[in-house]
């Protein structure tokens, strides 16, 4: 039996947080804190509003509202006029700087121009940078600082939205790389697979055509799938499905709209971790925003644990999970921390 118990709650207008195995960092608008073994202490206080704390090995970093960044492994140092986008290596980071995108060396302080514009939706893998600009997916070789290939999304044509508007396809998220294929979530419940070497299309899956939902139920582009071994796992609204990344075969694990309305889950944000999906959801069409946090068996779609959190203003983010804990932030800026008690296989 799988169960969790609430062991702590932080109520300090938390804006964002990151978790490690035995500790986590969180920030409000001006302060960054570290919590460890139920003890909490302040790491830094900023004169400017702080944005989202992030961790990419080996660094923590957090940008502020005027284009600076704090970064460090233990102690945080201030980088003036640099907005960190991604950690590239032990000494190199991808940054926004003076209207463009640069590679900055933390050791030599070299600040080398990469692109003459900022990027927002992107993926870095080894020395490859994939990004979106003007409905075009572009691959840039970081080692040689050279354009390699591009794919124009407009070749896919237009689609009709749920409000019957004609729209171009857009990138929602770069999901990752599997077997030299770049996997991309597009709008309109569409998945695009591109060869990372030349940009050729390996496969295009359009769920609204191949496994359409019944009238009144729809896929939500705000909630992405996850790569799990050789599958994509996708819990989206009221359907759980798996996609084989070798054969592209789609398997519907479970639909949740085939029960009375008062017993229906509407799943929103979720996190995949060790054959389980940790989710936030509404149950019984009670609220517009999710008020329940729960755990699902990825192989059956069965909900094995769930709990409603009252008077939170909603649960706007996916849970964050370690081997023994689950963390969830509420719309009111509180963090609920649950400990996994037991489970059997």
DSSP 28-65: -SSEEEEEETTEEEEEEE-SS-EEEEEEETTEEEEEET
Ramachandran quadrant class, 111 (left: phi over 0; alpha: psi -120 to 50; beta: rest): beta
Q: What is the mean pLDDT of residues 34-41?
A: 86
Q: Is residue 148 part of a domain?
A: yes
CATH number at residue 129: 2.40.10.480
Q: What is the distance between the alpha carbons of residues 328 and 298, in angstroms, rounded to a whole number?
A: 20
If we measure between CA atoms, which residue out of 98, 90, 104, 128 comes closest to residue 116?
A: 98
Q: Is residue 228 part of a domain?
A: no
Q: Is residue 65 part of a domain?
A: no
**pLDDT digits 0-9 by tens, 180-239:** 999 999 999 999 999 999 999 999 999 999 999 998 899 999 999 999 999 999 999 999
How many domains would you assign to the chain?
A: 1
- Average pLDDT taken over every residue of the chain: 95
**pLDDT digits 0-9 by tens, 142-177:** 999 999 999 999 999 999 998 889 999 999 999 999
pTM for the structure as a whole: 0.93
Q: What is the mean pLDDT of residues 310-330?
A: 96
What's residue 263's pLDDT?
92
Q: Is residue 215 part of a domain?
A: no
Domain that holds residue 141: 119-210
Q: Is residue 336 part of a domain?
A: no
Q: Which residues pair with 235 in a beta bridge?
A: 240
Q: Is residue 226 part of a domain?
A: no
Q: Is residue 176 part of a domain?
A: yes
Q: Is residue 164 part of a domain?
A: yes
Q: Give the phi and the psi of residue 165 in degrees, each rounded to 5.
A: -95, 140
**pLDDT digits 0-9 by tens, 254-289:** 999 999 999 999 999 999 999 999 999 999 989 889
What residues have CB less than 8 Å from 38, skipping those under 6 apart?
Answer: 7, 8
**With bands split at pLDDT 50, 70 and 90, how would you rate the model's confidence at 345?**
very low
Q: What is the distance between the alpha carbons of residues 268 and 245, in angstroms, rounded to a whole number?
A: 23
**With bands split at pLDDT 50, 70 and 90, how would you rate the model's confidence at 344?**
very low
* 8 Å CB contact between 251 and 195: no
């Amino acid at each position: 039996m799988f169960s969790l118990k609430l062991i702590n709650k932080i109520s300090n207008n938390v804006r964002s947080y990151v978790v490690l195995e035995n500790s986590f960092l969180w920030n409000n608008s001006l302060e960054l804190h570290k919590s460890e073994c139920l003890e909490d202490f302040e790491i830094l206080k900023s004169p400017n509003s702080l944005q989202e704390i992030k961790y990419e090995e080996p660094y923590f970093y957090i940008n502020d509202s005027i284009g600076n960044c704090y970064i460090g492994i233990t102690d945080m140092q201030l980088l003036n006029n640099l907005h960190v986008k991604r950690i590239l290596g032990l000494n190199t980071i991808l940054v926004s700087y003076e209207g463009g995108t640069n590679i900055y060396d933390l050791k030599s302080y070299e600040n080398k121009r990469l692109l003459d514009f900022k990027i927002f939706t992107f993926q870095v893998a080894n020395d490859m940078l994939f990004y979106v600009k003007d409905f075009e997916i572009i691959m840039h070789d970081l080692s040689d600082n050279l354009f390699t290939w591009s794919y124009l999304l407009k070749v896919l044509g237009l689609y009709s939205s749920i409000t019957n508007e004609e729209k171009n396809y857009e990138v929602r998220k770069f999901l990752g790389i599997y077997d030299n294929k770049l996997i991309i979530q597009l709008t309109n419940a569409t998945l695009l697979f591109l060869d990372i070497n030349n940009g050729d299309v390996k496969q295009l899956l359009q769920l609204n055509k191949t496994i359409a939902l019944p009238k009144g139920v729809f896929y939500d582009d705000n909630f992405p799938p996850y790569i799990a071994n050789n599958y994509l796992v996708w819990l989206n609204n009221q359907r759980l499905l798996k996609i084989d990344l070798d054969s592209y075969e789609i398997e519907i694990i479970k639909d949740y709209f085939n029960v009375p309305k008062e017993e229906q889950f509407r799943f929103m944000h979720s996190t995949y971790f060790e054959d389980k999906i940790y989710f936030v959801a509404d149950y019984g069409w009670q609220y517009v925003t999710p008020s329940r946090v729960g755990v699902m068996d990825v192989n059956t779609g069965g909900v094995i644990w769930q709990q409603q959190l009252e008077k939170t203003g909603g649960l706007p983010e996916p849970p964050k999970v370690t081997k023994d804990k689950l963390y969830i932030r509420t719309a009111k800026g509180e963090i609920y921390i649950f400990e996994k008690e037991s489970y059997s296989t």
